[in-house]
Amino acid sequence: MPKAVISGGSGYVGRFIVEELLSEGYDVTILGRTSHKANYFSSPVRFVQAELGLNFDYQPVLEGTDCFVHAALDHLPGRYVGGQGDDAKAFAFKNLGGSVALFKQAKKAGISRFVFLSSQEVYGDQEGGIDLYESDEPKPVNLYGKVKYEAEKVLEQMNTPNFMTFSLRLANVYGPAGPGRPHKWQPLFKAYLTGKPIKPFAASEIHGEDAARAVAALLRADPIRVSGGAFNVADFIVDRRDVLGPLKAATGCVYDLPEAADRNAVSIMNCDKMKRLEWRTGGVVKLSMTLDRMIKPYVSDA
């Protein structure tokens, strides 16, 4: 049974990765600051308390591990961009310096594949309506994007046939949260149902399950077909009207939907590189099914 360690495995995105690897037969260990609750995952996983930092020793959990997925990020609750709050220095120290320290220890421990969860924010404010490719020059404009891109560069320099490294540039991730936790559109649902004004907004999205399957695809890919580097992971552009329209129809809410955002102002990452590994996304069908499940509690209360 292959052994995988996932930092931040109980987080919003990390949970999807844990479940995907469990379904593929991995023995999973999670690193994090706070342990998950009982029955949080579909099968038992080992938890080891750990933090991002230059002086943390990960070796005891890394020994004998086949692959590592770095999904942890030290940030303010619910915020990635702007997640540093008033302490940019500490944010960079933990998330860049701490990640680099983890990379080095993982390589020293003999881990064969290392996947780092990066972000579309590395591309910065690109011209709207164009495809973004991994070969494009990243131009991050916020601290979150800059930290992710700097970590990507360090990790790629460490790539060898015996330590294969991958950075997944994820679009915004949606999907059901773990038991007892709110999904990311819950505040949007509440605002709309209580009549608060909703600003038009559209963004590139990916379901958490599809993001997790991208991770799994890289962990099992034939070395001849992959050689490290960055991989775009996105599905399609989602407008807030796409999210709130089904909620309005199901609940009979009287409030108007927000105006449609300008989709042409949104760029989307081209994912041909991932698709060559037989990776596919759920598209609008998966979005519709997910929204149906998310809306059910509001229908029963309506």
Concatenate the DSSP letters of all residues of 219-231 into one string. HHS-TTT--SEEE
Residue type at position 220 = R
Structure token pair of residue 37: 């609750």
Strands 3-7 and 67-70: parallel
Distance CA(133)–CA(120), nearest Å, equals 11
What's the pLDDT score for residue 302? 46
152 bridge partner residues = none
Q: What is the pTM of this model?
A: 0.93
**Domain 3-176+206-235+270-275, classified CATH 2.40.30.170, yes or no:** no
Give the tens place of pLDDT for each residue, 233-263: 999 999 999 999 999 999 999 999 999 999 9
Distance CA(116)–CA(166), nearest Å, equals 6
Single out the residue of 36, 27, 28, 38 nearest to residue 1, CA to CA: 27
Residue 29 pLDDT more than 60?
yes
Single out the residue of 259, 256, 168 nearest to residue 211, CA to CA: 168
Distance CA(264)–CA(202), nearest Å, equals 10
Give the tens place of pLDDT for each residue, 179-219: 888 999 999 999 999 999 999 999 999 999 999 999 999 99
Average pLDDT over residues 276-300: 94
* Residues 32, 50 contacting (CB under 8 angstroms): yes
Give the tens place of pLDDT for each residue, 109-145: 999 999 999 999 999 987 777 899 999 999 999 998 9
pLDDT tier at 289 (50, 70, 90 boundaries)? very high
- CA dist 288 → 7, 88, 200 (Å): 30, 38, 20
30 three-state secondary structure: strand
Q: What's the CA angle centered on 117, arms 46 and 8, to 5 degrees? A: 30
Task: Give the residue, 289 or 227, on which the prediction is more confident.
Answer: 289
* Residues 67, 44 contacting (CB under 8 angstroms): no
Structure token pair of residue 36: 């998950």
Structure token pair of residue 273: 């590189």
Work out the number of other CB atoms within 10 angstroms of the CB of residue 283. 12
- CA dist 248 → 238, 254, 259, 290, 291 (Å): 16, 8, 14, 15, 12
| Residue-range domain boundaries for the chain | 3-176+206-235+270-275, 189-201+236-268+282-301
Locate tokens 């994007």: which residue?
Answer: 145
Structure token pair of residue 184: 């990311």
